[in-house]
Structure 1
Amino acid sequence: MFKKLTFSLLASASFLGCGLAHAQSVEAASPYAEPTVIYGQPAPRPVQRTAYAAQRPNSNLGGGFIEFLFSDGAHGQRYQQQPDAPSQYSYEPRPRMMSPMEQEQSVYRREEATDPARPAMDPKYLPQTVSYDGKEGPGTIVVDTGSKFLYLVQDGGKAMRYGIGVGRPGFTWQGVKTITAKKEWPSWTPPKEMLARRPDLPRYMEGGPENPLGARAMYLGSTLYRIHGSNEPWTIGTNVSSGCFRMRNEDVIDLYGRVNVGAKVVVI
């Protein structure tokens, strides 16, 4: 008899309690104004839950009555379901990881962009892909000392063009050479001819950002000439060297990654 009475009371309380609770429900505000995009696809909106209002203190029915049966009888204690908090996870696409070479290039781009004391380089010397209709095959480097451009011939009648600094008057030259060695952050030993003209120069310099050969060097044949980087990018497009071809560090890093030892170099 007691079991039947309890079951009947529970059923009635459940019906009345649901009706009362829903009649007094308070809809929780969604923490999301718009759907979050996950890699280009709209994410499903989070399920909204309802925070139920507290029962009237003098009510012995509904949710309060159920709590009375299965608790210590403290009518004043109520438990409300809380709305979902905003997710702590971000669904923004991950940025593409840069290669070590790209990271190194980006350092020099930031330095040039944030140092107003350095003279601006003419934008025409920035790297770009251009048409090429010469006779040299893909993989050949063509150095045009007159226009101060270096071309890396590619397939399909195209070439990568870079701005360079070339030799001062009396130090320019022409010919065909081969890349015989490649070095990252090369050390520098000024040749005796240069030391005779500039006895103030150091006899040896370790590789690094202050080294005049810059981040990369490609050695041309058995000569003292190189295609190399520079810690003075504002000199690109000028006659400044003793016969070497200098490039911005980020540009020589790019060229270095595209050519191999044995590549042909045509200087005109």
Structure 2
Amino acid sequence: MFNSIKLNSRLAAAAFGALAIGTVAFADSAAAAPLPMFPFILTPPTQTVQPPVQSMPQVQEEDRAVEMPARFRRQTVSYATREAPGTIIIDTPNTYLYYVLGNGQALRYGIGVGRDGFTWSGIQSVSRKAEWPDWTPPPEMIARQPYLPRHMAGGPGNPLGARAMYLGGTIYRIHGTNAPDTIGKRVSSGCIRMTNEDVTDLYSRVNIGTKVIVLPMTERSADLGSAVR
């Protein structure tokens, strides 16, 4: 009996010692192991970089690159007419546009007009105005030139240039051009083209409803307008 108790005590002590050693080993292991990383990595918020705003270039730059003949430069001239001030008269055969000032004077601009077979005449009015207009070639033009784009956003490369004034319900416009060397020539499909600088000046003077008289190719103006000195 006494021997049995001693044996049981020894077993208990051995078990206790093993448990203590295991506890110390666990504690040492836990202390040596690195702490788990925080599951989320905080980073500073991403800054959105806005693209630089691109403004349209000054309209005068490309016009200065082409030396205009003196007669096509914008100028105030003597011009006898019964039309009211503010009227636009397009002298097709002489490639001039007159903006009537009154008192026998007008502003004269050089223009490009329709090529052979594409000139027209009549009386219209300005029905709409647009700055850096989009260009959507009409079906008639696409039928003749199927390679043309179906739509082109406004901008320096757009053939309508810096400004456009639409004439009535027609397909014709008075507009700018990215080809100022065509002023004084017969090259368009019926539209009246001006340098970007000149069309911007005219645009600032014209209102919706402005009367526009387009003279026929066969009719030369009796008074071509002499420059005011």
Instruction: Give 1:156 deviation, angstroms.
Output: 1.7
Q: Which amino acid aligns with 1:232?
A: A
Aligned residue for 1:215?
A: 162
1:202 and 2:149 matched: yes
1:184 to 131, 134, 150: 131
Aligned partners of 1:236 and 1:112: how far apart in 2?
A: 11
Instruction: Give 1:121 deviation, angstroms.
Output: 3.2
Q: Which amino acid aligns with 2:200?
A: I
Aligned partners of 1:109 and 1:185: how far apart in 2?
A: 14
- Percent identical across equivalent pairs? 59
Aligned residue for 2:74?
A: 127
Aligned residue for 1:247?
A: 194
Q: Which runs of 5+ in 2 are unaligned?
A: 1-55, 216-229
1:28-53 Cα offsets, whole Å, 9 max, x none, are xxxxxxxxxxxxxxxxxxxxxxxxxx
Greater Cα radius of gyration, structure 1 or 2: 2
Q: Which runs of 5+ in 1 are unaligned?
A: 1-103
SS in 1 for 2:209: coil
SS in 1 for 2:89: strand
Aligned residue for 2:25?
A: none
1:215-257 Cα offsets, whole Å, 9 max, x none, are 0000000000000000000000000000000000000000000
1:135-194 Cα offsets, whole Å, 9 max, x none, are 111010000000000000012211000000000000001100010000001101011111
Aligned residue for 1:69?
A: none
Normalised TM-score (structure 1): 0.58
Aligned partners of 2:60 and 2:99: how far apart in 1?
A: 22
Aligned residue for 1:168?
A: 115
Aligned partners of 1:190 and 1:111: how far apart in 2?
A: 24
Q: Which amino acid aligns with 1:136?
A: E
Matched positions, count: 161
2:60 to 109, 118, 126: 109
1:256 and 2:207 matched: no
Aligned CA distance change for structure 1 residues 127 and 200 (closer, same or farther; 3 Å): same
Aligned partners of 1:215 and 1:110: how far apart in 2?
A: 12
Matches within 5 A, 1:218-237: 218-237=165-184
Higher relative contact order (CA 8 A, sep 6+): 2
Q: What is the alpha-carbon root mean square deviation over aligned residues?
A: 1.7
Whether the 8 Å contact between 2:63 and 2:197 is mirrored in structure 1 is no
